[in-house]
Amino acid sequence: MSRAATNLQIDSARLWGSIHETAQFGATAKGGVRRLTLSSEDKQVRDWFRQACEDAGLEVHTDALGSQFGLRKGRDMSKPPVGIGSHLDTQPTGGKYDGILGTLGALEVIRTLNDAGVETEAPICVVNWTNEEGSRFAPAMMASAAYVGDFTTDDILSRKDAEGTTVGQALDSIGYRGDKPVGFQKLGCFVELHIEQGPILEAEGKTIGVVDSGQGVLWYDGKISGFESHAGSTPMPLRRDALATLSEIVLAMESIAKKLGPNAVGTIGEAVIANPSRNVIPGEIAFTMDCRSADGAIMDALDRDLRAAIAEIAARRKVEVKIDLVWRKPPTHFDPKLISAVENAAKTLGYSSRRITSGAGHDACNLNTIMPAAMVFVPCKDGISHNELEDATQPDCTAGTNVLMHTVLAIAGVAS
């Protein structure tokens, strides 16, 4: 590598400026971001991102699911591009860094290479994947899942949000149904920078997480059918209360995940009572379940034990509980060569690091099923994420982006 490329550092102030400039699109009063996928706020940040990519000289294309690809040419265009990026959508009460750091960090890498006049052998492609979060449309990471062939494009286009709007309609409403078929942009590998979203790096005082694995995910949709009746006149033993049933399921999930832990987690994050009223015993509840583990056998045990517990609770309470497994993502084991490339970049740059498992799902986990992939983590404050309080420091975000850039230079090769 040339001396200029070896010593290259990203522009920390410019990266920080981009993160905070785009945080205005969907900014919340508490300092977070609400930018649900394919919303008008998502359109605003997509427009900003497309313009920034074009200004950086990238050839920008959008695929049929709205994912944006910005290509920087390499000296040898017969080589597949090195993919870098993440997502710009957020949770309903999300933060300024989840996904955003990895996408704008990727843009910053391109800007830095441009300023330094560094040409790489292989091309580099910056990507903003549609709907990583999965809070408006399930499953999470749906566009990268379609990219790797887990779902057809038509299947994903027909997925509906809670209002009944399909992905296809939502794409059309913001003008982001692209003209390129999903998978048009071939990638040779993918590297994603992200905040850790957990407490380990901060607690250990480490700057870089070299992500070697990711938890598998089980997502379920559930429906409890009990019986609505009068809150004053229905004796306790005669009730078929959907909310009391759900409460037992929540506690059963908690104890099953604890029993199978430390390598297992379970969450009921959504529950909607049909026709709620203070003086009506809840008769019907729709809810979701999210269970995770980095160990496939523990995922199977979570599924088995949960189903058994739910069947027992439903029978005893004389209610019907339906559980649909809507998504199963096996654990991820990232590519050993790319993991080493991330580790070497951190070491060469003088940052402290440790290997780490990702608790969250990421587009890189999907891409890893068809190409080598890896991830770079940086600490976030108190391990908090999926929360408006999510925070990360400028030096850590800068360090992570430098590691991303030097990993890319090592993989893509610098043209001499």
Verify binding: residue 265, ligand GLV, rule CB under 6 A: no
One of 321, 360, 375, 408 touching ligand GLV (CB under 6 A):
360
- Quote the least distance from Cβ 275 to Mn ion, whole Å: 32
Q: Decide whether 58 or 291 has the Cβ nearer to ligand GLV.
A: 291
DSSP H stretches of helix in 175-241: 200-204
> Which entry of Mn ion, ligand GLV, none binds 361, CB below 5 to 8 A by partner kind?
ligand GLV
Q: Decide whether 133 or 196 has the Cβ nearer to ligand GLV.
A: 133
List all residues 6 or more positions away from 143 whose beta carbon is below 8 Å from its beta carbon: 63, 65, 66, 67, 129, 130, 131, 132, 156, 182, 363
Q: Of the candidates 399, 335, 61, which has an alpha carbon nearest to the alpha carbon of residue 189? A: 335
Q: Which letter does DSSP use for residue 236 in this model?
A: G
Q: Which letter does DSSP use for residue 19 in this model?
A: H
- Quote the least distance from Cβ 56 to ligand GLV, whole Å: 27
- Quote the least distance from Cβ 323 to ligand GLV, whole Å: 19
One of 361, 372, 379, 400 touching ligand GLV (CB under 6 A):
361
Burial of 47 from C-beta contacts in 10 A (0-12 / 13-18 / 19+):
middle
User: Of 125-164, which residues contact ligand GLV (CB under 6 A)?
Assistant: 133-134, 140
Q: Decide whether 38 or 412 has the Cβ nearer to ligand GLV.
A: 38
List all residues 6 or more positions away from 163 whose beta carbon is below 8 Å from its beta carbon: none
- Quote the least distance from Cβ 362 to ligand GLV, whole Å: 7
Which tokens belong to 394? 């400028």
Q: Decide whether 32 or 134 has the Cβ nearer to ligand GLV.
A: 134
> Which entry of ligand GLV, Mn ion, none binds 339, CB below 5 to 8 A by partner kind?
none
> Which entry of Mn ion, ligand GLV, none binds 140, CB below 5 to 8 A by partner kind?
ligand GLV
> Which entry of ligand GLV, Mn ion, none binds 26, CB below 5 to 8 A by partner kind?
none
By residue count, the chain amounts to 416
Q: Reduced to 3 states, what is the DSSP secondary structure of residue 272? A: strand
Dist. CA 243–CA 19, nearest whole Å? 41
Q: Decide whether 110 or 299 has the Cβ nearer to ligand GLV.
A: 299
Kindly list the residues in this chain that would bind ligand GLV in the complex (CB under 6 A).
133-134, 140, 360-361
